[in-house]
């Protein structure tokens, strides 16, 4: 029950220039006005993603080596038989703040936001985190931080230098045609990476996009209706009763 003293209690927002308090009708009108701008922002974001899908591709001519849970792996191996690959260069290694108990605090924030990769797999896309930490250290920190769902590999060569992430985190996207590999996009880190982790944002930086029928994509790109490919992450299968 609200009392008179409750209504006159000292505000915790003193010193903040807060918006006005309005009626329900005024609030709804303001919400609808903002929605117009939000929808315009969504359309602009979709148009930018469509432009990414038309970015030229760069052939990857050099071979790169990583170490995974089962030993030495190539860049092609990181695709895990998927058509596309997203690689985030994380800083978890000697010389980085937090070592050996933590990765860089920014990279840790990114890792904390990563959705289950099975949803990327459903769109023929694989995700990989790479750093210079040895696998035993990676496994230890993954277990403590709850990152077991993130495939994480150890860098061994010039991959970071060749792909622009030797001194700063960043996300590269690749596509393969058989064993031929191509670099299709590079997110230069900074505030660009703060958008990563969400399945949709990851797919929006790939060459093939979300692969849904409403997207503006080049002719012949794979597309299916929304919902048809969505899966439960514990089974990796779609709802058989979905109409």
Query: Which residues have CB under 8 Å from 231's CB, separation 6+?
Result: 118, 119, 122, 237, 238
Q: What is the pLDDT of residue 8?
A: 63
Is residue 47 one of the residues assigned to a domain?
A: no
Percent of residues, the chain, with pLDDT higher than 70:
96
Residue 3, pLDDT > 70, answer no
160 and 171 Cβ atoms separated by less than 8 Å: no
Is residue 101 one of the residues assigned to a domain?
A: yes
Is residue 145 one of the residues assigned to a domain?
A: yes
pLDDT tens-digit series, residues 62-108 = 999 999 999 999 999 999 999 999 999 999 999 999 999 999 999 99
Percent of residues, the chain, with pLDDT higher than 90:
84
Q: What is the pLDDT of residue 5?
A: 53
Is residue 37 one of the residues assigned to a domain?
A: no
The total domain count for the chain is: 1
Query: Which residues have CB under 8 Å from 82's CB, separation 6+?
Result: 120, 121, 124, 125, 126
Is residue 228 one of the residues assigned to a domain?
A: no
Pairing mode, strands 170-177 and 125-131: unpaired
Residue 1, pLDDT > 80, answer no
Is residue 175 one of the residues assigned to a domain?
A: yes
pLDDT tens-digit series, residues 13-61 = 888 899 999 999 999 999 999 999 999 999 999 999 999 999 999 999 9
Is residue 153 one of the residues assigned to a domain?
A: yes
Is residue 210 one of the residues assigned to a domain?
A: no
> What pTM was estimated for this model as a whole?
0.92
Domain assignment of residue 76, given as a range: 56-204
Closest CA to 117 of 145, 139, 137, 87: 87
> How far is CA 151 from each of CA 42, 132, 236, 240, rounded to the nearest angstrom?
30, 14, 17, 29
For the segment 191-215, the average pLDDT, to the nearest whole number, is: 93
What CATH number should be reported for the domain holding residue 115? 3.40.30.10
């Amino acid at each position: 029950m609200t009392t008179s003293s409750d209504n006159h209690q000292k505000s915790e927002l003193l010193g903040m220039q807060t918006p006005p308090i309005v009626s329900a009708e005024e609030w709804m009108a303001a919400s609808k006005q903002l929605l117009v701008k939000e929808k315009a922002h969504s359309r602009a974001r979709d148009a930018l993603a469509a432009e990414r899908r038309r970015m030229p591709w760069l052939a990857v001519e050099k071979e790169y080596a990583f170490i995974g849970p089962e030993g030495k792996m190539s860049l092609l191996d990181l695709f895990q038989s998927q058509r596309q690959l997203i690689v985030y260069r994380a800083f978890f290694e000697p010389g980085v703040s937090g070592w050996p108990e933590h990765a860089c605090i920014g990279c840790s924030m990114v890792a904390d936001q990563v959705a289950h990769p099975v949803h990327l797999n459903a769109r023929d896309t694989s995700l990989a985190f790479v750093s210079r930490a040895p696998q035993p250290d990676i496994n230890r920190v993954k277990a403590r931080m709850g990152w077991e769902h993130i495939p994480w590999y150890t860098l061994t060569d010039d991959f970071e230098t060749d792909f622009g992430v030797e001194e700063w985190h960043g996300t590269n996207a690749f596509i393969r045609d058989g064993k031929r590999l191509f670099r299709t996009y590079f997110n230069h880190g900074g505030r660009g990476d703060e958008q990563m982790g969400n399945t949709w944002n990851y797919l929006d930086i790939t060459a093939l996009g979300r692969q849904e029928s409403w997207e503006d994509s080049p002719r012949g790109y794979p597309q299916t209706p929304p919902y048809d490919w969505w899966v439960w992450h514990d089974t990796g299968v779609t709802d058989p009763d979905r109409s």
